[in-house]
Amino acid sequence: SQFDVDLDSHLPCDTYSQADFSLFQPDHMHGDRAMAYYVFQDFLNLRTLEPHPFPGSLFIGSAELSKALMSDRDGISGEYPRGLPTVYDFSYENTDVFAGIDRLTQSLASQSSPSLAYFHLWSPHGPYNARKEFVGIFDDDLKWHSKPRHPIAGDDFPQEHMREKHREYDECIAEVDAEFGRLISDLEKSGILQNSYVIVTSDHGELFERGEIGHASALMYAPVTHIPLLISAPGQATRSDFHSLTSIMDLLPTILQVTGQETPDWIEGRLLPGFGGAEDVSRSIFSMVAKDNATFQPIERATFTMIKGPHELLFFTGYKDHQDRFELYNLQEDPDELQDLFSKDITTASQMKDELLEAVNAANRNYQKK
């Protein structure tokens, strides 16, 4: 694939080991294994990325700056009642993040050739530390339906703790939304928005309403799979809404289409509605979490989700001490996923089960021993 072609080099999987981390754990780094990995990897890359190596000292310097910011309780960090937002041991401010995006975008716009930029924003993400003006804005009596604890759920937290974390998550969303609004306004004022596509999406949601904190879970309910997709086209004056199911895989062929590039045969996605693609109400969308499986072996332990029309089918398989199980929900009539219809709507359940299992079997056939 083009991705492989564009990679300069690969590090073999046995280049470093757990023992190597001990080489880079001075006291001021608090035995940070993630940092040790980065530094050691950069040291190894010096042999392959010359004459432009990326020194590990940059990471260490960032860590020292982060430590200073975190200790500045009367300065920058005073704007954050629960502490600065963090990525592992690094702290940051969303105002700085979005200001950096704005500067880079303005710089790219000044070039004569077209450009593409991808920004992966960490917020809104745990530990959900919003600025003080957003803290408490959702302190009201809003209640959600409590879903019974799932047999393969993770830690069992009290409902009030779940609600508190959900409020903190919403506060972070509000902060990011405000910063994003300022960014779009700046792009509009500078004229960049008039000749640019802006795509906003996410890799997942969070599972608070389903009895889990965060998203690192075997549960694949709608709050974690139903992600936003907003696209602003150059010179767009009116809003268009499309309600048919789409997949994150549809972004690549759509971007290739609007930029006048050819679409390779191996691409699985489709053109999005509004960009030449048709709304397909009969389309099936699949998601899965299968982190406990070998990369080049059949999938044995996983959760699969299939959404078709208003219905969502979940398949839990291979979990120790738990029987395989299916769940079926009508997301239009039951958006909170409280009424399992798998044993009630037999026709829909049977049709979707057959289609899902065929898709799983087709994927596994590529890795089964001959």
- Over residues 2-45, the pLDDT tens digits come to 555 655 444 433 333 333 333 334 444 444 555 555 555 555 55
**pLDDT at residue 89 in the model:** 64
Mean pLDDT in residue range 296-313: 94
**pTM reported for the whole predicted model:** 0.77
Instruction: Give me the CATH code for the 280-370 domain, please.
Output: 3.30.1120.10
The DSSP letter of residue 366 is T
What are the boundaries of each domain within the chain?
A: 1-71, 92-242, 280-370
pLDDT tens for 197-223 read 999 999 998 888 887 887 888 899 999
**pLDDT at residue 41 in the model:** 56
* Fold agreement between 92-242 and 280-370: no
- With vertex at residue 202, the alpha carbon angle to CA 199 and CA 203, rounded to the nearest 5 degrees, is 135
Mean pLDDT in residue range 321-348: 96
Does residue 272 contact residue 250 with C-beta atoms inside 8 Å?
yes
Return the top range by mean pLDDT from 66-80, 147-161, 283-297, 318-332: 318-332
Q: Which of 49-53, 99-103, 111-115, 213-217 has the lowest mean pLDDT?
A: 49-53
Question: CATH number of 92-242: 3.40.50.300, 3.30.930.10, 3.40.50.2300, 3.40.720.10?
Answer: 3.40.720.10
**pLDDT at residue 12 in the model:** 39
**Nearest C-alpha neighbor of 290 from the set 218, 366, 360:** 218
Report the C-alpha gap between 168 and 145 in whole angstroms: 18
pLDDT tens for 122-176 read 889 888 999 999 999 998 877 777 777 888 887 778 888 888 888 999 999 999 9
**Nearest C-alpha neighbor of 45 from the set 33, 34, 35, 54:** 54
Residue 370 has pLDDT above 60, yes or no: yes
Report the C-alpha gap between 351 and 363 in whole angstroms: 19
Q: Which of 34-38, 58-62, 320-324 has the lowest mean pLDDT?
A: 58-62
Report the C-alpha gap between 216 and 153 in whole angstroms: 10
Which residue shows structure tokens 């075997």? Answer: 218
Query: Within 10 Å of residue 51's Cβ, how many Cβ atoms?
Result: 4
Question: pLDDT exceeding 70 applies to what percent of the chain?
Answer: 78
Residue 73 has pLDDT above 60, yes or no: no
Does residue 340 contact residue 327 with C-beta atoms inside 8 Å?
yes
The answer for residues whose C-beta is within 8 angstroms of residue 233's C-beta and 6 or more apart is 197, 258
Partners of residue 286 on adjacent β-strands: 306
**Does residue 322 or residue 53 have the better pLDDT?**
322
**Does residue 284 or residue 139 have the better pLDDT?**
284
Query: Helices 57-71 and 33-45 sit at what angle, rounded to 10 degrees?
Result: 150
E strands along 77-197, which residues? 86-87, 90-91
Query: Within 10 Å of residue 268's Cβ, how many Cβ atoms?
Result: 9
Report the Cα 253 to chain-centroid distance in Å.
20
Chain mean pLDDT for the chain: 81
Report the C-alpha gap between 296 and 299 in whole angstroms: 9
**pLDDT at residue 72 in the model:** 52
**pLDDT at residue 27 in the model:** 45
Which residue shows structure tokens 């957003």? Answer: 134
Question: pLDDT exceeding 90 applies to what percent of the chain?
Answer: 44
